[in-house]
Structure 1
Amino acid sequence: MIAHVKPLGSLLCGALLACAPMIAQSQPKVGLAHDQEMARVQLQAMANQHIDSARTAVAVLEKDPLMTEALRWSKGVFILPSYRRAALAVGASGGTGVLLRKRDNGSWSAPAFFKLGTLGIGLQAGVEAGPFVFVLLNDKAMQQFLQRNSFSVSADAGLTVRNWQKVARGTVGKGDVIAWSSAKGIFADVAAVSVDDIRYDEQLTNAYYHRTLSAGDVLADRVSNDQAQGLQQALATASAPAP
């Protein structure tokens, strides 16, 4: 009995036609995965830039003896490398900052990322300024950053936020927060500093650590990133006890 064998070309064409729907279905998935990976890489690069800028801000702050004393009193710090107040009806005001908790041994936790909506310092519209550092002097101020929804660091939120230019020596540990900026004169006529519409940036934090995290997870030392060690060491040096 003679078996009839189909030409190889016919067999290949048939196989390709049979597989065509499967190939078509897999292509969107591959494209989506590639886009997601690219977005994650971009977010991670953005996070790295914020950390590097925060480290630069600490290097400037460290030159001010009053602020290093404040860091010695602190429970944590919120660093905003830059802030922009948009012109009326053009763009959005805000910036991205990093929060770190000071451990009992004087070292610092890994950073968590937060978005900021409004900085109440009377900055003119369309102007970008910074860096800004908010030294959190007690657990009350730290707990404000662990809320799930939008929150404020202000008198309306029950916190005393002091303008660093109006803080006298010997009173550094009083109040809840000390607000500092390297921009000369920016706080000169501001009696009460407020930070409003702060939100935990889960997307940026997750991209930085390659996993899903809450702000509490980061501050509780459940994660680390070697890229942040420079910032952590800079804060440890700036907040070290005076010789």
Structure 2
Amino acid sequence: MTKVTHDRSTMEGMIAKADVILRCALDPDSVGLPQDLCEQCKGILILSVIEVGFLVTVNFGSGILLAKRSDGSWSLPSAVEVTGIGWGFVGGGSIKDIVIFLMDQGTLKALAQDAGLKLGVQAEFTLANFGRSFSGSVNFSKSAAGRTMSIAYSKGCFGGISIEGALIRTRKAVNEEYYKRSASCFEIIAGAVASPDESKINDVYTKLNMLKKGKKADEHREG
């Protein structure tokens, strides 16, 4: 079977990766994502992150930010990147596909800034091709603060409990290349730009709406 890779330097690659992450969450054999978080969140971050270290860990990755509109639909994506450090009783290395639920407007506003600081507590155990991590965080920017809940699907060998700090930034160059114009993260999620004709973001919307309704992949057949 040919391994599919996603170019994290492009919006198209990050949308494709987000689609794969959500497809895994919809798998009937997967533990999935909590329906109440999907229903109640004000926005969502879908990230792919690499984390390594012993006692002190470093992590870096990229993904997309989506806001939920008042009618329940989803905004266009803004590209983001995350770099961080953690410390505690931890060790190993893992590749994590992370879904972060933004639970209030303050959180969404904080992470829609050019840079938002995320602080949190994480508990994780990963061995070989299976792992789950859970975390709750408080997020800060220059103008707002809020809270998130996150669930990660991990691969590798990693375990422990840590306190983490991470800087989440908008990838302005990626957004500009994708939308063919300069726009802030806030403008993108507020609907001030148009979606490119070739965008695959509708596939992501479909899966997010299925998760919001508590459905699994075997309850929906495309085509």
TM-score, L = length of structure 1: 0.62
Deviation at 1:67, TM superposition (A): 2.1
Distance, in Å, in 1 between the alignment partners of 2:177 and 2:81 is 15
- The residue aligned with 1:48 is 12
Deviation at 1:60, TM superposition (A): 2.2
- The residue aligned with 1:178 is 149
Distance, in Å, in 2 between the alignment partners of 1:186 and 1:144 is 32
Distance, in Å, in 1 between the alignment partners of 2:214 and 2:165 is 29
Instruction: Identify, as 1 or 2, the structure richer in helix.
Output: 1
- The residue aligned with 1:117 is 83
Q: Secondary structure at the match of 1:153?
A: strand
Conservation of the 8 A alpha-carbon contact between 1:165 and 1:187: no
Conservation of the 8 A alpha-carbon contact between 1:76 and 1:136: yes
Alignment of 1:67-106 (within 5 A): 67-80=34-47, 82-85=48-51, 93-106=59-72
Deviation at 1:109, TM superposition (A): 0.7
Q: Indicate which of 184, 197, 202 corresponds to 1:214.
A: 184
183-192 or 47-56, which deviates more: 183-192
Q: Secondary structure at the match of 1:130?
A: strand
Aligned pair count?
182
- The residue aligned with 1:130 is 96
Q: What amino acid sits opposite 2:119 in the alignment?
A: S
Q: What amino acid sits opposite 1:234 in the alignment?
A: K
Distance, in Å, in 2 between the alignment partners of 1:187 and 1:106 is 36
**Alignment CA distance shift 1:146-1:231 (3 Å):** same
Deviation at 1:152, TM superposition (A): 1.3
Q: Indicate which of 197, 209, 212 corresponds to 1:236.
A: 209
Instruction: Quote the sequence identity (%).
Output: 21
Q: Secondary structure at the match of 1:105?
A: coil
Instruction: Identify, as 1 or 2, the structure richer in strand.
Output: 2
- The residue aligned with 2:139 is none
Distance, in Å, in 2 between the alignment partners of 1:214 and 1:110 is 12
Rg comparison, structure with higher value: 1
Q: Show structure 2 runs of 5+ residues with no match.
A: 1-6, 125-132, 137-145, 216-223
Distance, in Å, in 2 between the alignment partners of 1:154 and 1:107 is 28
**Alignment CA distance shift 1:46-1:222 (3 Å):** same
Q: What amino acid sits opposite 1:204 in the alignment?
A: V
- The residue aligned with 2:116 is 151
Distance, in Å, in 1 between the alignment partners of 2:18 and 2:213 is 18
What do the CA deviations read for 1:21-56 (whole angstroms, capped 9, x no partner)? xxxxxxxxxxxxxxxxxxxxxx89722111111111
Conservation of the 8 A alpha-carbon contact between 1:137 and 1:177: yes
Give the aligned CA root-mean-square deviation in angstroms: 3.5
Q: Indicate which of 49, 52, 58 corresponds to 2:22.
A: 58
